[in-house]
A and B are shown apart, each in its own frame.
Chain A
């Protein structure tokens, strides 16, 4: 476990010593800021009318999943593909580190970065709280952020797995993004009433978030689903790294 933590810390620091971390942070916060500001201005414009919808944290949490789908590939593309490109992966593989520790450490580093990113965005619900009378309903904020953490964990694990497949970071980025978009569109692939609809809706990763966490509900099904995807991604990543030892 110690090894995992050491690798995670190293990866986490690396985000802050190279431009990609700041770039992701900047773009994420900038776009989110634009959307939140748009929502706030509209809320203020509508608040002049009777029966206007009350302001809630949806204008902050709503767009965040979409933004994560586009940010996380940038965070994971370097994790293992970078090591392969620079040839350091062979070094790591000969070090006394188990394969799963390497993969889990890389994943945890990315996860810590996302935690920081999400923590920074808390300023928006806080601002909304100060602007609202009698303050914000914090239930959906808590469940929404929990949901975002779970989604991030799952997406990062898949991203790490894809990153293990490639030497080129660009390839890792493109494939990861394509995979995310595919998983996102799954439920729209299913025809209405077709036998596969239920399964595809279950596998669609946006579905669990928007039907529960986003609306202020913590759903055990969603928690189990996201943790399973996380475990699955880490397993695939480990198998891919491991296979380098015996592949010809």
Chain B
């Protein structure tokens, strides 16, 4: 056989293979690179050359392909099919434009509650939600929830998932620090939703629609923690997250000004080290009696040191029925660090609802108790965070001055002198007459940068500010009646019988019927 001839016979097919391979490679490279980079261009060029080569070497065959009977029928079928597919695509597109859903569940569990629906109906400008979920976090629940909002919003609410690891710029722009955060954006304003639920979403939407400024003042002048300091002792993380929640955070020197600012939504007094003068205290109490909102963070004072806030704590006890004890909480649930109190949040209050079981760590805390049973009816006082029973309020403060380093480890609970556990650490009170709100926390160190990220520490403070500012519940969703279902108890062999019938009854019947049919057909042959 003439080798040139064989070679000639193969050449057109090599050209065709080049054309197809080049086109496929170009498509694949484009999918990967998303730009017309050099490899894509080279592959396209190879495909073109291959196609031209085939055309040149086999012109008759190409003509036959294009004009033959097969081509005619084939192109007919192709055009018809394309038209049909086009119609189907149009129908599907229409269905996405005009979504319709019918919720068949008894409790309408796939439909937004009416209170939430009302918020969506009142949306004037479109809202875009960015759901920052990395690949490590399950998106199912988020997608369900956001879908519900998107479907019920008449096109005014849209959402998009963003991987904060792949796209850190956008996450930084909106101050996202937690995986699984949803940010709602309307115009140049945004709101974060840390724990996704219908109610949290509705509240964030409602906050978006009320664009007034909310200001938090941190009092300075008595050696309080500084909101600008970046080190472990500063409060810069707290300031950052409050800013992310659309609070304006400022400082206010009470000794210099003498009064409190008029535009304050919340005032925070974080661990004063120096005396608060009677004039300053009067400014604070006047502010509170006019419906002000104050968060007090009190540190334990070492033995012998002056108690800078003694008068203030007296005022809180007599007016707000909140007892701030002069003690230190010793918690043996972490034996290595008995001075770190592990606080367990109580459920059922806006300040603790986001914590969802997270504990809060209070280093060197003092106990803060409610005397609420003596309080007038217009005052509601609630203890929000308590230690376990393994902690107590130690009144012997000599452990701080004791020369031995193990001093703290040698203390023990003295009945009659110390406060028995569980020890309350956080108390919130509200005066329903004036609208004034007070949160007292027996520690100022738990939200310093060094402790801020620990467990629920940061969240507790953020939600305390939210509650004090009256931002916690713009919308409350009434719990919907849910049909309670339970399994009827089965007696004796019930479970076994159930197993036998569910596994064997139906398949067994099918097997027997099949066997009978097969057998009868066999007999007939």
Q: Dominant SS at the B interface? A: helix
Q: Does B99 contact A (CB under 8 A)?
A: yes
- Take A139-B106, A218-B101, A247-B70 as given contacts and tell me if A211 and B147 are in contact as well, using a CB distance cutoff of 8 Å: yes
Q: Does B305 touch A at the CB level, under 8 Å?
A: no
A88 within 8 A of B: no
A212, CB-defined interface residue at 8 Å: yes
Near B by CB (< 8 A), chain A positions 193-237 give 193, 202, 211-212, 215-221, 224-225, 228, 231-232, 235-236
**B160 and A220 contacting across the interface, CB-CB below 8 Å:** no
| Segment from A72-80, A104-112, A130-138 that makes contact with B | A130-138
What is the CB-to-nearest-CB distance from A24 to chain B, in angstroms, rounded to a whole number? 9
B513 contacts partner chain A, Cβ-Cβ < 8 Å? yes
Residue of A nearest to B513 (CB): A22
Which of B81, B96, B101, B514 is close to A22, meaning CB atoms less than 8 Å apart? Answer: B514
Q: Are B486 and A132 in contact (CB under 8 A)?
A: yes
Q: Taking CB as reference atom, which chain B residue is nearest A194? A: B34
Q: Closest 8 A-B residue pairs measured CB to CB?
A: A22-B514, A139-B104, A54-B485, A216-B105, A220-B100, A30-B507, A246-B73, A224-B95
Chain A residues with CB under 8 Å of B88's CB are 228, 231-232
A66 at the interface (CB under 8 A from B): no
Which residue of the partner chain, among B487, B488, B503, B513, contacts A34 with CB atoms under 8 Å? B503
B84 at the interface (CB under 8 A from A): yes
A43-B487, A131-B487 as given contacts; A217 in contact with B110, CB under 8 Å: yes
Please determine whether B104 and A217 come into contact, CB atoms closer than 8 angstroms.
Answer: yes
Docked-complex contact A22 and B510, CB < 8 angstroms:
yes
Chain A contact-residue range equals 35 or more
A-B CB contact pairs (8 Å), 6 listed: A123-B506, A133-B485, A137-B106, A139-B106, A202-B92, A218-B101
Is B502 within 8 A of A40, CB to CB?
yes
Quick check: B502 and A143 within 8 Å, CB to CB? no
Which residues of the other chain, A, contact B103 by a CB distance below 8 angstroms? 139, 216-217
Q: Could you say which residues of chain B place their CB within 8 Å of the CB of A236?
A: 81
Flag whether A3 is at the interface (Cβ < 8 A). no
A96 contacts partner chain B, Cβ-Cβ < 8 Å = no
Q: Contact check, B511 vs A232: say whether CB atoms are below 8 A apart.
A: no
Cβ-based interface call for B267 (8 A): no
Report how far A202 CA is from B88 CA in the complex, Å: 14
Q: Does A142 contact B (CB under 8 A)?
A: yes
Residues of B within 8 A of A (CB): 69-70, 73-74, 77, 80-81, 84-85, 88, 91-92, 94-96, 98-107, 109-110, 133, 135, 143-144, 147, 160-163, 166-167, 483-488, 490, 495, 498-499, 501-507, 510-511, 513-514, 517-518, 521
- Beta-carbon contact of A246 and B70 below 8 Å: yes
Contact with B along A91-125 (1 / 0, CB 8 A): 00000000000000000000000000000110110
Cross-chain contact A37 with B144 (CB below 8 angstroms):
no
Interface contact A132-B99, CB-CB below 8 Å = no
Task: Name the CB-closest residue of B to A144.
Answer: B104
B100-A29 in contact (CB<8A):
no
Residues of A within 8 Å of B521, CB to CB, are 17
The distance in angstroms between the C-alpha atoms of A35 and B505, with both chains bound, is: 14
Interchain CB contact under 8 A, A41 and B101: no
A182 contacts across to B, CB distance below 8 A? none
Q: Is the CB of B518 within 8 A of A218?
A: no
Decide: B81 and A239 in contact? CB cutoff 8 A. yes
| A137 smallest CB distance to B (angstroms) | 4
How far is A132 from B483 in the complex, measured between Cα atoms in Å?
Answer: 12
State which residues 32-72 of A face B: CB under 8 Å.
Answer: 33-34, 36-37, 40-41, 43-44, 47, 54-56
A193 B163 Cβ-Cβ under 8 A: yes
- Closest A residue by C-beta to B111: A217
Min CB–CB distance B55 → chain A (angstroms) = 21
Contact: A216 with B104, CB < 8 Å?
Answer: yes
Q: Known contacts A29-B510, A47-B487: does B110 contact A215 (CB below 8 Å)?
A: yes
Given contacts A26-B507, A142-B104, A232-B88, contact A216 B495 (CB under 8 A): no
Separation of A198 and B109 alpha carbons in the complex (Å): 25
CB B70 to nearest CB in A, in angstroms, measures 6
Inter-chain contacts of A243 with B (CB < 8 A): 73-74, 77
Contacts of A14-32 to chain B: CB distance below 8 A:
16-17, 19, 21-23, 25-26, 29-30
